[in-house]
Amino acid sequence: MKKISACLGAVAAVLLLFACAGCSEQTFTEKSYTSDENAVTEIAIDAEDREIEVSASEDGRVHIGWFDSKEEYLDLSVSDGVLTVTLCYDKDWTDYIGVKPAAEYRRIEVKVPSGVAVFSASTTNEDITVTAVSFTESVSLSSNGGCLVFERLDAGASISLTAKNGDITGSVAGSMEDFSLSCTIKKGDCNLPTSWDGGPKSLSVDCNNGDIEVTFVQ
């Protein structure tokens, strides 16, 4: 009987630890970044559990807005015109127990000027949304556990779209004849052919456990 009581007490202590850890909340502070005019030619964003919203900047500068806490924060660095944005964690194992931060704190807003050549963004469990942005060379979007949503996505050479457990939906600037197309779909519906030998640009679309609905607009 004493052994059973001891075991029950240990289990109760562990459950209490988990409950207390889950009750702790992070304090988030709003942050922002603005580049010098025409100083950034390439942007690379690597995040987890963050929604990424991308739109056009009208002043030649890159603007980024987000929220930091002591446990979850963005690291930004610029070298030779390349802006790297990485989500970093400084947590104990108990900090991973409990609910996620509120949605407003799990959003990264990016405004991109027309002079940016290369853009890549990767996240998990959240969507990436791009609205009427043009890149002179290439754009790559990837979400594991979220959707890719875009409007008039444009790139001078190549577009790469990858989603797992989410949909790929939106419009690409130009006609289908402008692109050589490669498309892979698993466990979903798709309105694109698996391959297409078209123009000099490349469009790669890969979706696992989701639907693909991509249109072309002039």
How do residues 52-84 score in pLDDT, each as one tens digit? 999 999 999 999 999 999 999 999 999 999 999
Rounded to the nearest 5°, which phi and psi values hold at 38? 55, 25
User: In whole angstroms, what is the distance from residue 166 CA to residue 175 CA?
Assistant: 25
Q: Tens digit of pLDDT for each residue in 151-169?
A: 999 999 999 999 999 999 9
Q: Tens digit of pLDDT for each residue in 128-141?
A: 999 999 999 999 99
The pTM score is 0.86
* 3-state class (DSSP) for residue 215: strand
Of 195 and 14, more confident? 195
What's the pLDDT score for residue 98? 57
Give the mean pLDDT of 95-110: 82
User: From the CB of residue 152, how many other CB atoms can be counted at a distance below 10 Å?
Assistant: 17
User: From the CB of residue 159, how many other CB atoms can be counted at a distance below 10 Å?
Assistant: 25
Mean pLDDT score of the chain, rounded to an integer?
A: 89
User: In whole angstroms, what is the distance from residue 178 CA to residue 200 CA?
Assistant: 6
Per-residue CA distances from 86 to 29, 76, 92, 120 (Å): 17, 7, 19, 12
Q: Could you tell me the pLDDT band of residue 100, with boundaries at 50, 70 and 90?
A: confident
Q: In sequence order, what are the residues at sequence separation of 6 or more whose Cβ sits closer than 8 angstroms to the Cβ of residue 44? A: 82, 83, 84, 85, 118, 119, 120, 121
Token pair, residue 171, equals 């419009």
